[in-house]
Amino acid sequence: MARIVYIAINNFRCVEKLDWVPSPGINCLIGPGDAGKSSILDAIDYCLGARRTVQFTDADFHGLDVTTPISISITIGDLSDALKSIDTYGAFVRSFDPTTGLIDDEPETGKETVLTVQLSVGSDLDPVWTLVSDRAKAQGLSRNLTWGDRTRLSPTRIGAHAEHNLAWRRGSVLNRLTEEKADTSAALASAARDARKAFGDLADAQLGETLKIVADTARELGIPAGDKVKAMLDAHSVSFSGGTVALHGDDGVPLRALGVGSTRLLVAGLQRKAAKESSVLLVDELEHGLEPHRIIRLLSSIGAKETPPPIQAFVTTHSPVALRELRGDQLWVVRKPPGGHKLDLVGIADPIQGTIRAHPEAFLSHSVLVCEGASEVGLIRGLDLFFAVHGYASINAQGVALVDAGGVNKIYGRADVLRNLGYRTASLRDDDVQPDAVEEGLFTFNGGSLFKWAAGQALEHAIFLGVSDAAVHQLLERAIDLHGEELIGEHILAASQGTVSLAHCRGPVTPATRQTLAIAAKWKKNAWFKTVSWMEEAARDIIGPHHQNATLEFRTAVSNIFQWAHGA
């Protein structure tokens, strides 16, 4: 069961340079859009695919630089005896050290025997496939894999047109399941003869006038067409090449008529059955056409939970469902810093795996704002909705994800996981309870941004002490709508130790009523706006519309958060 042990890509599309040692099982490429995930899959497909040629254009060269050749090198390990044959590939056999990721041109004891296939494309746009070896080059030797070996090693690509694999076409997964071959020639030749005869008997009635004109014209021009021209099926026009024999259901309907998701799911399952020598699967946009439960089933069918992995898969996804189902050692974050691409393995340490399960959408973003709790998430979401309606770009459009850390003591456990993987990360917290000072210091020292409310303030204090008088009254009435007058009145009396009532708070706004409402709104487990949706609606409907009349301190705090978000 051959597998890819090393990938080197140079000057291909958005990938200026990439060197990567993939995992033997599932390699799921994640990260923001336009990072080059699909181009990496295309590079593997073009290099190892069983095809005679590939159509390249100037746009396939990084930065349109056709003076620098495209070079894609794929090193293959776990070779069969035939692929390690001295007689066939002896001069090209190399060794690979999985502990260091280094390839040596000489086979060495204790290291894995490998072959490297290279695809090169110059300014003439003509692709050239060769095996790579310094020893062979020194001897003036040059060759590629045999066509039979290329066919056996060719990856199965599941894209938008996966139905290609549901017929016995060249390169389809069906041809890899068994050695069986359907001999269609005799049956199809006989069927063609019968079809020609049956059609000819009907054609005179259907095409008689046209046939008479053709016969008369031929006779006038002296063309030897005989006394009567006939319309018959051309013996060579009935093509029985690739795809003649296809899969059908018991009702006779071709399986290629299945939905996109069903087709992709079926082909993925068949590829596992075919994993003898060709064990590499390429799936772009894993979730395309699949409901969440079938995404889970597809991942299971290709061995996401199995050890050792049954096949090697290279997939891309933007689905949180897929991320939750995969382990951190199956996820690679794709980055393109200046000078070359970089793939970071997410990893499986406890804080990492927990963050993947709780907040998979964060791993699909450009930037992440880790909030102390749900109310902070709701505030930013609600203000973003208000600002977007009034002409400002949404932070969602900037690729910013909001994460609920679940408390001040967990905020940097979440934030550091994402920052360490290269995500642009910030934290937003209250200031009434302090986090671990060392953790926060390391977070900011290593490039994380910190936002917090004024000294000693929780979010509720920042809001009720910062918004306008009109907004204070509207927030109070919104809390009554959510929880009822009785409960809100009890909270106000308890927060003021009996000195301020609900009636007082409905009157003129004073510093005392603001302070009381701030304490009451945060009351124990019955906080007024403690869910994402409650705070989101309050921010969208009340805090946002009155934002310009808030205190400078509150407006500045909000402005700093949104400036950071729009700097993504």
Q: Which of 99, 129, 154 is the last residue of a domain?
A: 154
Rounded CA separation 394/350 (Å): 33
Count Cα neighbours of 249 within 13 Å in the Cβ-side half-sphere: 8
Rounded CA separation 188/140 (Å): 48
Domain holding 48, by residue range, is: 3-22+43-154
| Of 312, 323, 260, nearest in space to 281 by CA | 312
> Is 33 domain-assigned?
no
> Is 416 domain-assigned?
yes
The model carries a pTM of 0.82
User: Contact 284/155 with Cβ under 8 angstroms?
Assistant: no
**Residues facing residue 95 across a β-bridge:** 104, 113
Alpha-carbon distances, residue 48 vs 11, 57, 433 (angstroms)? 18, 19, 57
Rounded CA separation 510/465 (Å): 10
Q: What is the 3-state secondary structure (H, E, C) of 521-566?
A: HCCCCCCCCCCHHHHHHHHHHHHCCCHHHCCHHHHHHHHHHHHHHH
- What pLDDT, on the 0 to 100 scale, is given for residue 276? 56
Rounded CA separation 564/556 (Å): 12
Alpha-carbon distances, residue 466 vs 374, 544, 554 (angstroms)? 20, 12, 5
> Is 35 domain-assigned?
no
- What pLDDT, on the 0 to 100 scale, is given for residue 315? 96
Rounded CA separation 214/225 (Å): 9
User: Contact 68/61 with Cβ under 8 angstroms?
Assistant: yes
pLDDT tens for the 568 residues of the chain, in order: 789 999 999 999 999 999 999 999 999 999 887 889 999 999 999 999 988 889 999 999 999 999 999 999 999 999 888 888 777 898 899 999 988 999 998 888 889 999 999 999 999 999 999 999 988 888 888 999 998 899 888 898 886 555 556 565 665 655 655 666 666 666 666 776 677 667 666 666 766 777 666 666 666 555 465 666 566 655 455 555 555 556 655 566 566 666 777 777 776 677 666 655 557 899 999 998 888 998 998 898 889 999 999 999 999 999 999 999 999 999 999 998 888 999 999 999 888 999 999 999 999 999 999 999 999 999 999 999 999 999 999 999 999 999 999 999 999 999 999 999 999 999 999 999 999 999 999 999 999 999 999 999 999 999 999 999 999 999 999 999 999 999 999 999 999 999 999 999 999 999 999 999 999 999 877 899 999 999 999 999 999 999 999 999 999 999 999 999 998 5
Pairing of strands 70-77, 3-12: antiparallel
| DSSP states along 153-217 | HPPEEESTTGGGGGB--TT-THHHH-S-----HHHHHHHHHHHHHHHHHHHHHHHHHHHHHHHHH
Which DSSP helix (H) or strand (E) runs through 135?
helix 134-138
Q: Is the dihedral of CA 561, 562, 567, 568 positive or negative?
A: positive
The 3-state DSSP class for residue 421 equals: coil
> Is 567 domain-assigned?
yes
> Is 356 domain-assigned?
no
- What pLDDT, on the 0 to 100 scale, is given for residue 220? 58
| DSSP states along 28-77 | EEESSTTSSHHHHHHHHHHHHS--S-----GGGBGGG-TTS-EEEEEEEE
Rounded CA separation 418/406 (Å): 16
**Residues facing residue 129 across a β-bridge:** 119
The 3-state DSSP class for residue 458 equals: coil
Rounded CA separation 257/390 (Å): 46
What single letter denotes the amino acid at residue 66? V
The 3-state DSSP class for residue 404 equals: strand
Rounded CA separation 275/280 (Å): 8
Query: pLDDT tens digit string along 63-99?
Result: 999 999 999 999 999 988 888 877 789 889 999 998 8
Rounded CA separation 117/124 (Å): 20
Q: Which of 154, 189, 212 is the last residue of a domain?
A: 154
Q: Is the dihedral of CA 346, 351, 357, 363 positive or negative?
A: negative
User: Contact 523/491 with Cβ under 8 angstroms?
Assistant: yes
| Of 525, 524, 517, 533, nearest in space to 476 by CA | 517
Q: What are the φ/ψ torsions at residue 230 (nearest 5 degrees)?
A: -120, 150
- What pLDDT, on the 0 to 100 scale, is given for residue 122? 97
> Is 328 domain-assigned?
no
- What pLDDT, on the 0 to 100 scale, is given for residue 526? 85
Q: Is the dihedral of CA 156, 158, 161, 167 positive or negative?
A: positive
The total number of residues written for the chain in this structure: 568
- What pLDDT, on the 0 to 100 scale, is given for residue 245? 59
> Is 204 domain-assigned?
no
The total domain count for the chain is 2
> Is 387 domain-assigned?
yes
User: Contact 442/419 with Cβ under 8 angstroms?
Assistant: no
- What pLDDT, on the 0 to 100 scale, is given for residue 278? 55
| Of 275, 363, 405, nearest in space to 1 by CA | 275
Count Cα neighbours of 348 within 13 Å in the Cβ-side half-sphere: 5
Distance in Å from the first CA to the final CA of the chain: 43
Q: Which of 96, 129, 154 is the last residue of a domain?
A: 154
The 3-state DSSP class for residue 232 equals: coil
Pairing of strands 156-158, 280-283: parallel
What single letter denotes the amino acid at residue 177? L
User: Contact 557/462 with Cβ under 8 angstroms?
Assistant: yes
Which residue is it, tokens 């979440």? 414
Q: What is the CA radius of gyration of the chain?
A: 33
